[in-house]
Structure 1
Amino acid sequence: MTEVDSTKLIYVMGPSGAGKDSLLGFARERVGAQVMFAHRYITRAVGDGENHIALSHDEFATRISYGLFAMHWESLGLRYGIGIELDAWLARGMPVVVNGSRQHAQRALERYPDARFVHIDATPSVLAARLARRGREDARQIEARLARRPAFELPSHAHVVTIDNSGMLADAGAQLLNALTLAERA
């Protein structure tokens, strides 16, 4: 693996409905080309404002077999990957934002020991309302998803910022922009 500056990696995570995609879009519009936003490859059709590249399960497996993912994981029957272009960007000193998974955060920290983590969250009522608007799950499935909200833990040395995105997008967006600015200066 090429030598990378993992202080420039900003790993964004949080529960479904926390508004990660909205916040990432907000930030992307304001930082321009100063920060790279890694593509996510997902075995799900594109929709709902989520910025990803849709792959079939076979395409995903082929990319794994050729080592084309810097990180990959599975959640709720879907597969998610971040391409190896991430390492090329970090090797060139560019700040890179990854839309990751709380369950994969520890493995990301092992590969990128100086990464910065941003945990986006919202109140349970806000999460429920957003999940309902998204329309991928019925009320019973949403209730089950919220009930199983897994906790995540990272070692005490990990740099973690938590942003509550229960209110105005601009307020949480300003906090995310601040986290990105810190990574640019790292």
Structure 2
Amino acid sequence: MNGGRLFYVMGPSGAGKDALLGYARERLGDSPASVLFAHRYITRPESAGGENHIALSLSEFAVRKAHGLFALDWDSHGCRYGVGIEIDTWLDAGCDVVMNGSRAHLSRAVKRYDGRLHLVVIHVDTAVRAARLASRGREAGEALAQRVAHAVEWTPPAGVPLTRIANNGTLAAAGETLVDLLVERST
């Protein structure tokens, strides 16, 4: 296999994916490992909190999609999400790439990155997840209850490496598990 691997990080809202990715990015900042973190383009204002993303209007998103500038894109929770085609260049250059992906649209990633994909599933207890979602303040009341209850059924694709990380405790505990995986796989 030529090139790098795509670490496709998945899990429900509130699992702590963004916090873990931020932790790993910071820890690997001075590392000799060739690990790059993809940002997402989202039709959500930057002021909405959560992950560090590039905010686009619906029309900006549509123009980029029409020009084929997304390697992967999907709709979820009333927003559009995209990951730029720059990740293909990074992978072809031999770098490992880490991205925050969607369980519901995993099949597209499997098709495009067959043989280069490594799934990372972040899981968390429901009570911990509910508290995290409430603390970020994007939803309240019934909307929050619906977000907590939202479940995506998916089946791990055959032959694709998969790592599960529990994120119920400290950020450092789960974060070091992710860092160890990325360093181990990039050497």
TM tier, shorter chain?
A: over 0.9
CA displacement 1:154-174 (0-9 Å, x = unmatched): 223111111110111111011
Aligned partner of 1:25 in structure 2 is 22
Instruction: Give the equivalent residue in structure 2 for 1:74.
Output: 75
Q: Displacement, 1:183? A: 2.8
Secondary structure of the 1:103 match is coil
Give the C-alpha shift of residue 24 in structure 1: 0.6
Partner of 2:8: 11
**Deviation digits for residues 63-103 of structure 1 (CA, Å, limit 9, x no counterpart):** 01100000000012100000010000001001111111111
The CA deviation string for residues 91-120 of structure 1, in whole angstroms up to 9 with x for no partner, is: 100111111111111210111012001011
- Note if 1:135 corresponds to 2:137: yes
Deviation at 1:142, TM superposition (A): 1.9
- What are structure 2's unaligned runs of at least 5 residues? none
Match of 2:44 in 1: 44
CA distance in 2, matches of 1:82, 1:142: 26
**C-alpha contact (below 8 Å) 2:9/2:121 kept by paired residues:** yes
> Does residue 1:156 correspond to 2:153, yes or no?
no
- Retained in 2: the 8 A contact 1:36–1:94? yes
Question: Secondary structure of 1:71's partner?
Answer: strand
RMSD after superposition:
1.6
Return the letter of the residue paired with 2:5: K
Structure 1 or 2: more helix by fraction: 1
TM-score (norm 1): 0.92
Percent identity between matched residues is 51
- Does the 8 Å CA contact 1:121/1:162 hold for their aligned counterparts? yes
Q: What is the CA-CA distance between 1:46 and the residue it aligns to?
A: 1.3
Kept in 2: contact 1:42–1:79 (CA 8 A): yes
Which residue of 2 is the match for residue 97 of structure 1?
98
Q: Classify the secondary structure of the residue corresponding to 1:44.
A: coil
Cα 1:104–1:182 shift into 2, 3 Å? farther
